[in-house]
Amino acid sequence: MNEIILSTKQLTKQYGSFTALNEADFSVCRGDICGLIGRNGAGKTTLMKLVTGLTEPTSGSYQLFGKDSTNSFLKRRIGCLIENPAFFGSMTAFQNLKFYCLQKGITDMKKIDEVLELVSLTDARNKKFKTFSLGMKQRLGIAFAMLDDPDIVILDEPINGLDPIGIAELRDTFRTLNRERGMTFIISSHILSELYAVADHFVFIEKGRLIKSVTKQELDLECSRCIVVKCGDVKHASTVIDSLGITNYKVIDKSELRIYEEGVSAKELNKQLVTNGVEVEGLTESGVSLEDYFKQLVSENN
């Protein structure tokens, strides 16, 4: 089993009477690319601020690398970009990163050019930060997060302001770093399709609550094309389905099951179920987009 790099236990944050994060329990394993999905104000940034030590939890706790505190030694193993990228406007990209290299005790200044190349900012190395476009600022923020070869990179809405080519390049960078260096990522976004393209583990947040945590395979399964069978006796129905040689199906609850197998005719299935005495209450072909899936999750939790 993979090492758990970050875990939270009943993590709660309140601002006065407003609960920004409510008893969040989740964990991220080494090598994961975890996507935090939620609407604006759902609690994604609060969760990230808590685990990076930018704010203190009202209750609950979290562990980083299996340890309770976020001492400076552990902090050096985290790279992050929370909210908007923030740098000194009158300093160049190189000078800004050099400042943070000195601060973190990084002696090899070649690292700066390496991370600038990683985010395609080599040409803007000596340009002042205040002259940067939104996308360039975002990329410099990502370069900063990568500066110290961290074990875990926490990025809050990293693709904001990036053009399609920039997004694709960044996606490749994340994948490469994850594959080649085993870097763990936690990336938040409300652009589901983009997150889907890079993450392998998804955590859905709504109104401060973690409403669902699924792997990419599970998400694919839940969103993929399927036949939804609603009936009074799921056990009997599954016996009939087994007898038909269908193996790729899932019992959702006591009145619903879903068949994901390719080439199954809804009409023929209905006929077989009825013939074998299953009281079919409904049989529909389904397949939801990520957006619809998220909307459905949100409405179920409201």
Partner 1 sequence: MINMIKAELYRMTKTKGFYLFWGVMLISYLITIIYKQEGGISLGAPIVTDNSLKMDVRMVSWNFTYYYLFIIPVFTTVCSEFSNHTYKNTISSAISRKTYYFSKYFFILVYTLLSFSLLNFAFYAANRLVNGSEYSSSLGRFAKSVAVQLPVMAAIISLFIFIAFAVKKGAVFNSVTIISPILYTTLGLVLYGIKDTKAFAEKMLTCEISTIIMRVAKETSGSFTAKCMAGSALVIILSALFGYVIFTKREID
Q: Which of 3, 25, 54, 289 binds partner 1 (CB under 8 A)?
A: 54
Phi, psi of 225 (to 5 degrees): -65, 135
**Residue 65 has what DSSP assignment?**
T
Compute CA distances 107 → 12, 88, 117, 203, whole Å.
Answer: 38, 21, 19, 37
Nearer to partner 1, 146 or 159 (CB): 146
Residue pair 246/61 in contact (Cβ under 8 Å)? The answer is no
**Max CA-CA distance within the chain?**
77
Residue 61 interacts with partner 1 (CB under 8 A): yes or no: no
Residues 6+ apart with CB under 8 A from 278: 231, 233, 236, 237, 240
Residue 156: closest CA among 79, 99, 87: 79
| Residue count, binding to partner 1 (CB under 8 A) | 35
Q: Which of 38, 43, 57, 150 binds partner 1 (CB under 8 A)?
A: 150
DSSP secondary structure of 30-57: TT-EEEEEE-TTSSHHHHHHHHTTSS--
The nearest distance, CB 76 to partner 1, in angstroms, is: 7
Q: Which stretch binds partner 1 (CB under 8 A): 69-77, 168-176, 186-194, 250-258?
A: 69-77
The nearest distance, CB 107 to partner 1, in angstroms, is: 10
The nearest distance, CB 26 to partner 1, in angstroms, is: 19
What's 248-266 look like in SS3?
CEEEEECCEEEECCCCCCH
Nearer to partner 1, 90 or 289 (CB): 90
- Residues 232-271, mask of contacts with partner 1 (x by CB under 8 A): ----------------------------------------
Residue pair 227/283 in contact (Cβ under 8 Å)? The answer is yes
Residues in the chain: 302
Q: Which of 15, 61, 242, 274 binds partner 1 (CB under 8 A)?
A: 15
What torsion do the CA atoms of 3, 82, 33, 195 make, to the nearest 10 degrees? 160
Beta bridge partners of 257: 229, 251
- Residues 73-102, mask of contacts with partner 1 (x by CB under 8 A): --xx-xxx-xxx-xxxxxx---x--xxx-x
Residue type, 91: M
The nearest distance, CB 145 to partner 1, in angstroms, is: 8
Q: Which stretch binds partner 1 (CB under 8 A): 3-11, 143-151, 169-177, 202-210?
A: 143-151
Q: Which of 10, 71, 193, 301 binds partner 1 (CB under 8 A)?
A: 71
Residue pair 139/117 in contact (Cβ under 8 Å)? The answer is no
Nearer to partner 1, 88 or 215 (CB): 88
Residue 127 interacts with partner 1 (CB under 8 A): yes or no: no
Report the interface residues with partner 1, using CB under 8 A.
Answer: 15, 49, 52-55, 70-72, 75-76, 78-80, 82-84, 86-91, 95, 98-100, 102-105, 144-145, 148, 150
